[in-house]
Amino acid sequence: MYFDVETRLLRAVITLAEELSFTRAAHKLNISQPALTKQIIGLEKRFEFLLFHRPNKRVVDLTDAGRAFVQEARSALAHIELAIRLAQTAHEKNGSTLIVGHSPYADQAWISAVLGIRLHMFSKFQVWTMTMFAMELVRSVLAGELNLAIVTAPRKMITSLLHHSRKRRCMRFC
């Protein structure tokens, strides 16, 4: 079965899933809220399943189908971006390209450091970055689609783990 879905619709679903607000998602996408609502409802009717649960006008949450769709939509967009970049590199024959994937939680200083790589001997060397979630990053490195991946957990999770670890250490030694 073949589904013809525009990338702008995938981005709309992903952005709404991240924002959980039609108003904020529409603003981030630079479209009107009614236009976003129409896009989402159109997809849901076309696929015959709900992506989002809307108990009232202010609350939006992902359904199980929506969670599965968003995860794969992110992967699809990443593959489309990679296909375009690799084709551009092949067309331009412009030297080596380092493709680095990173999680949305990666420290921007790390990303900036990677983008700042410049090798004087390789004037046409390029560094491209792609944002993906941890499991997709690992899969992409193993499949040879990425040269490097920076995988990190959300800052809140790291802070919580550090706090819990210090508390346990203190309980043992204090």
Fold of 7-72: Arc Repressor Mutant, subunit A (1.10.10)
For the ranges 2-16, 40-54, 83-97, the lowest mean pLDDT is seen at 83-97
Residues 32-74 have pLDDT tens digits of 999 999 999 999 999 999 999 998 877 899 999 999 999 999 8
Instruction: Take residue 84 and report the two structure tokens written for it.
Output: 């375009």
Domain residues of the chain, as ranges? 7-72, 94-157
Task: Judge contact between 50 and 65, C-beta under 8 A.
Answer: yes
pLDDT of residue 118: 63
What is the Cα 17 distance to its own chain's centre?
11
Q: Supply the Cα-derived Rg of the chain in whole angstroms.
A: 20
Q: Using alpha carbons only, give the angle 114, 115, 116 rounded to the nearest 5 degrees.
A: 90
Confidence of residue 171 (pLDDT cuts 50, 70, 90): very low
Chain centroid, CA 36 distance in Å:
20
Structure confidence by residue, pLDDT tens digits, 139-158: 888 888 888 888 876 666 54
**Residue among 16, 6, 1 nearest 50 (CA):** 16
